[in-house]
């Protein structure tokens, strides 16, 4: 198995323009993501995928690898698919979000381990929900898994709904999981899923992984105990700095 790690990064974020180039303790965010990925065993190559010359120059300045992609991509998955076409000898692609400068190498390694099973074509990480705040936060996507630890549904709503219990008792009655947004794909599967039209469930929840579920793809999960810290807004950055 030969594994390529792609870090999609765009400048024109709606909520936080230019965030890949934000300086965090002397380094840009994209450099921190890149360096964390390099620490993970099992990766054969790490590249940043961007359509912005400023980000490309920044990556080259710290000695990283970068691939310029089209500006028309709707998601990081689409950007990863284009990059994979330039590296046909890699059979597994890992997609790490460009706004997670503290992604843990152990999480990357855990995701890679899913592909030790040749039947796995798509994989992602999940984490146990332990607080009421997370459980009822619509910005925290939840996931339901089957007995094979495959994801069968994602939602911004709290799922499943325990109709016989008051909501304050749900955490003690059922194990809830939240989705950790890093993905792994077999190369052929990545190229196939990005050719699929958006699905009804995907559009309803604004969660791209529901497209894969709706079209019948099995998504293998692994449970991580490590929290991720994504930076979506300037307020997120202030919290991290504090």
What are the helix and strand counts (H, E) for the chain? 10, 11
Look up residue 132 and give its two tokens.
Answer: 């009421």
Q: Which domains can be identified in the chain, with CATH numbers?
A: 3-241 (3.90.550.10)
Does 242 have pLDDT greater than 70? no
What pTM does this model have?
A: 0.93
pLDDT band at 24 (very low <50, low <70, confident <90, very high): confident
Round to whole Å and give the CA distance between 138 and 121.
28
Q: What is the pLDDT of residue 71?
A: 87
Round to whole Å and give the CA distance between 93 and 236.
28
Output the CA torsion 76→98→210→201 (10° steps). -80
Computed over its alpha carbons, how large is the radius of gyration of the chain? 18
* For range 68-89, the mean pLDDT: 93
Does 162 have pLDDT greater than 90? yes
* For range 72-79, the mean pLDDT: 90
pLDDT band at 16 (very low <50, low <70, confident <90, very high): low
Nearest Cα to 120, choosing from 3, 240, 8, 237? 3
Mean pLDDT, the chain, integer: 93
């Amino acid at each position: 198995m030969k594994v390529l790690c792609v870090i999609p990064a765009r400048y024109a974020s709606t909520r936080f323009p230019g965030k890949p180039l934000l300086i965090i303790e002397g380094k840009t965010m994209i450099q921190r993501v890149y360096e964390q990925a390099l620490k993970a065993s099992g990766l054969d190559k790490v590249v940043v995928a961007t359509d912005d010359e400023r980000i490309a120059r920044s990556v080259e300045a710290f000695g990283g690898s970068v691939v310029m992609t089209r500006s028309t991509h709707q998601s990081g998955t689409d950007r990863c698919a284009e990059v994979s076409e330039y590296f046909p000898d890699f059979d597994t692609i890992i997609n790490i979000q460009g706004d997670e400068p503290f992604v843990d190498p152990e999480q990357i390694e855990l995701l890679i381990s899913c592909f030790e099973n040749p039947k796995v074509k798509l994989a992602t990480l999940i984490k146990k929900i332990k607080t009421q705040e997370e459980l009822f936060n619509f910005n925290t996507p939840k996931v339901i898994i089957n007995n094979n630890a495959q994801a069968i549904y994602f939602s911004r709503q709290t799922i499943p709904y325990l109709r016989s219990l008051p909501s304050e008792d749900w955490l003690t009655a059922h194990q809830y999981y939240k989705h950790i947004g890093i993905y792994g794909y077999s190369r052929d599967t990545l190229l196939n899923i990005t050719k699929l039209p958006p699905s009804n469930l995907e559009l309803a929840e604004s969660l791209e992984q529901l497209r894969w579920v709706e079209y019948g793809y099995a998504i293998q999960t692994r449970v991580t105990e490590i929290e991720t810290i994504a930076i979506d807004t300037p307020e997120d950055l202030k919290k991290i700095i504090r």
